[in-house]
Structure 1
Amino acid sequence: MDFNKLLNSAEYAFLRTNEHLGNNIIMLGLAGSYSYGTNNENSDIDIRGITLNRKSDLIGMTYFEQYVDDNTDTCIYSFNKIINLLLNCNPNTIELLGLKQEHYLYLNDIGKELINNKKLFLSKRAIQSFGGYASAQLRRLQNALARDSYPQEEKEKHIYNSVKNAMNTFNDRYQEFQEGSLKIYIDESNKTDMKKEIFVDANLKHYPLRDYKNIWAEMNNIVKDYDRAGKRNNKKDDNHLNKHAMHLIRLFMMAIDILEKEEINTYRENEQKLLLSIRNGKYQNSDGSFKEEFYEMIDDYEKRLDYASQNTSLPNEPNIKEIEEFMINVNEKVVSNKI
């Protein structure tokens, strides 16, 4: 597929016309299945990128963190936001620094400099970030398998855990809010068909409406997913389950590379066959459950990750000083109109 031709199409005109994007973009790259090497004929094209904060964002009155176009599955992060996400070795963004060369669709000098300095961001924080994402992925898989057979009270616990896991990543992806500003818990229900249900306490002030909308959309989608009728033998559900299973193993692979080799390898060339076999249902039983050998694989990767975590030579924290110098240098050029 000619991705550059696609980016020049009318569908992606926002890349050229939006005031935060255009000449401010420093990087565009493939994301999702195409970037991992696990795409098939049904795979969507996901684009991720980075755009410089404008002068008005840095010393003026405007505020910008990211631009999302749902129609094309495109997300462009602001420079300042991506730096903060990379500091935490956020799996959804650190992978942007480890793409195959041909998967970078646009890269200017600042984008290249960021990639050249990617090791500055690698630290033991990857243990928690990747481990947390892998745990959330496993829970999604377990919850999807369990939701049709569990009684209501048990389902409510699964929903609660799924929403709680999503909430743990909100500050990475949306404007931060103080701990306790958004709280969920299970309590006695007044509904006749429920003994207990999930409640929420929300106390957000001066919070961006769009971020608030997206947070509630994520929580709403989790609840809706559990409320859907249907069994695990539905083909679409099976495809989703196998995709979750594949991404769980892929997260382990990436985390181990970071901890053992200090490398970000987004494209899984050596493990492509294994990952595609998981996606294609090799490890799924006819009733939708997963074979014992898949869970043995998970156990093996968990042990490998634990060993890598205990023996990594990565520092406890990323190189904050050098990252800050790089960040200041770039933003000073923006403020002084040198870019």
Structure 2
Amino acid sequence: HGLIQAFSRTNRVLNAAKPYGHILDFRGQQGKVDEAITMFSGVRAEQAKEIWLVDKAPVVIEQLKAAKKELDDFLQSQGLDPRPEAVPNLKGDDARAAFVKQFKEVQRLATQLDQYTDLTDEQKQEIEQTLPRDDARAFRGVYLETAKRLKAKQDKTGGDTPGFDGQVCEPPGEYGSDAIDQLDFEFVLFASADIDYDYIMNLIARFSGQTPSQQEMSREQLIRLIRSDAKFMDELDEITEYVRTLETGQPLTEDEVRGGYQRFKDQRHAAELAAVADKHGLTNEALQTFVDAILDRMIFDGEQLTDLMEPLGLSWRERREKELELMDKLVPLLKKRAAGRTISGLNAYEQ
């Protein structure tokens, strides 16, 4: 019992920074491990191993090859080259959901192989040939972008679902609306324990100091790395655009990068809010005050929304319609700025 508890607690998932654990060595006590697994499962020893122990690396490598071939075959069946840059050209939610399901399996197997500490050089080369590192990062990036959009649709209920560019999507098929509702995106598979916010800020600072003759990482490689990690999914556009504004050969310290990125985000947020205010006939100051009050308390107050709309002089029916139109634009902005925290009362406008 104690041995199984030790394994379970070591391997317990905590968050995006700990999607798995490492059990460094149990071969020296193989007999006790077999006995504990058999006792815990209540079945024969060999059957218990099949239930509790993962496949050996060569088996998983073959599974990875098969999963990658299925992904390639699927993209080719859609008239596309089996390359990451082709994925945005998929037509319809059927195809996008199919890509999500198929690449998630590829990533699951790749993540599993990352945990093997005794891979031979030949096995590592075999994995690299099957899924080159640059391709893997690029595929993860387009996966996260596609999954993020599908999840936004998944979070909405009822009515026709608009497509990525505003069109009404096709009727549900094998991977249509019903399948989207059932998708589990498993974003934890796409969050590296080695890459965090501090690491990215340091990497951007190093990039800014590069000259063409000493370039370690191109701008596109840096962007691809950032976009391949689920931890940055909620600010992919901001951090990508910020990196595109930087000039190489003009070194920045890590603190300067942090400050510059924060100013860039503040300016972008202010511009987004000003556009919403202008569209709905509100002043920038009034809308900014309304949003700041929500984020300060993390509570949505319906009475404050009524006060915000009062200067427009609308009837109650008109005001209600305008409130719904306004909140349809504000909810995504509020959720992004809340950075994963829950805003109490906002769910009334998320349907």
User: Which structure has greater strand proportion?
Assistant: 1
User: Which structure has greater helix proportion?
Assistant: 2
Length-normalised TM-score, structure 2: 0.28
Which of the pair has the greater relative contact order for Cα pairs under 8 Å at 6+ separation? 1
Length-normalised TM-score, structure 1: 0.29
Higher-Rg member (1/2): 2
